[in-house]
Amino acid sequence: MQGQCAPLLDFMESGSRLGGRPAARIREVSEAETSSQTHAVRLRQATLEDVEVLNLWWSSALYTGEFNDFGKVTRPPVDKSIRENGLVGEDRGTLVVERVADLKPIGTVSWRQVRYGPNPESCAWNIGISLVPEARRQGFGSQAQRLLADYLFATTSANRVEAATDVENLAEQRALEKAGFSRDGVLRGAQYRAGTWRDVAMYSVVRRIDSR
Ligand SMILES: CC(C)(COP(=O)(O)OP(=O)(O)OC[C@H]1O[C@@H](n2cnc3c(N)ncnc32)[C@H](O)[C@@H]1OP(=O)(O)O)[C@@H](O)C(=O)NCCC(=O)NCCS
């Protein structure tokens, strides 16, 4: 049984896309469809054709970026995960960011459930993003995160979508602001990366305040 926060998986069937020219069948995400008409990227579910590129991206900080470099992370084989659930589960997920102009995959967005209380209403989504170096600084990152927040609000009952990033990651902080996120504050010493504890800036969009 799905929790209050869980994505309604039917809305993200294999081959469906958010942004650009979305599949007609995902009518439930009409808000995302409308807002995506001027977007240069869209989000789609991973397929087995993405296995090679995902393995490449997730094997090197060259692709994921220094602020996503947590050393060697053990994860199940990508092809197995795609076969199992297309990388979209009840409490987490990953979508491919695709450039609309040439349908080229340029990165991934992901989300996982976080809880601020024991009741189902108190769960939120914490999102992350990684674009390949050549796709950065062209507005794609802010658009992709906006689309992801729209998708999570359209398909779940969560009231909050948040993103945390190193206080030194100015590009991500700016991209989140452009995507409509507000800065909540700084979590001191929250993240261990590259041999030391780091402060992270927390950003969020709140459904009932930011009227999504
Ligand atoms: C962070 C990331 C997602 C941002 O996406 P992006 O497509 O590059 O971002 P956008 O082009 O939408 O916006 C970036 C903004 O930051 C600004 N910016 C970029 N580098 C900057 C820097 N070093 N200092 C200050 N501002 C910076 C850009 O000028 C732009 O703002 P503007 O449009 O007002 O000029 C992308 O750079 C990326 O994937 N980086 C590596 C992975 C990563 O750090 N992920 C987040 C980890 S929590």
Mutate to test the pocket of ligand 1, among 39, 166, 172 (most ligand atoms within 8 A of CB): 172
> Domain for residue 58, yes or no?
yes
pLDDT at 11 over 90: no
Show Cβ contacts of residue 193 under 8 Å, excluding neighbours closer than 6 positions: 67, 69, 70, 166
Q: In the structure, which protein residues have their CB atom closer than 6 angstroms to any atom of ligand 1?
A: 65, 67-68, 107, 128-131, 136-142, 165, 169-172, 174-175, 178
pLDDT at 184 over 50: yes
The percent of residues above 70 in pLDDT, for the chain, comes to 82
**In the prediction, which pLDDT does 6 show?**
59
> Domain for residue 82, yes or no?
yes
Q: Which domain holds residue 68?
A: 9-162
Please name the helix (run of DSSP H) or strand (run of DSSP E) that holds residue 112, with its range, or none.
Answer: strand 105-115
> Domain for residue 199, yes or no?
no
> Domain for residue 73, yes or no?
yes
User: pLDDT for 27-48, tens place per residue?
Assistant: 233 334 434 467 899 999 999 9
Alpha-carbon distance 205 to 9, whole Å? 22
> Domain for residue 180, yes or no?
no
> Domain for residue 181, yes or no?
no
Nearest alpha carbon, ligand 1 atom 9: 141
Please name the helix (run of DSSP H) or strand (run of DSSP E) that holds residue 166, with its range, or none.
Answer: strand 160-166
Tell if the pTM clears 0.85, that is, is over it. Answer: yes
Nearest alpha carbon, ligand 1 atom 26: 171
What mean pLDDT comes out for the span 160-178? 98
Q: Which of 20-34, 76-90, 141-155, 177-191 bottoms out in mean pLDDT, i.e. has the lowest? A: 20-34
**In the prediction, which pLDDT does 211 show?**
65
**In the prediction, which pLDDT does 31 show?**
38
Give the atom of ligand 1 at the shortest distance from the alpha carbon of 138. Answer: 11
> Domain for residue 60, yes or no?
yes
Domain harbouring 98, CATH code = 3.40.630.30
Domain count, the chain: 1
User: pLDDT for 130-159, tens place per residue?
Assistant: 999 999 999 999 999 999 999 999 999 999
Give the atom of ligand 1 at the shortest distance from the alpha carbon of 132. Answer: 39
> Domain for residue 141, yes or no?
yes
**How many Å lie between the centroid of ligand 1 and the Cα of residue 176?**
9
What mean pLDDT comes out for the span 183-192? 98
Give the atom of ligand 1 at the shortest distance from the alpha carbon of 142. Answer: 12
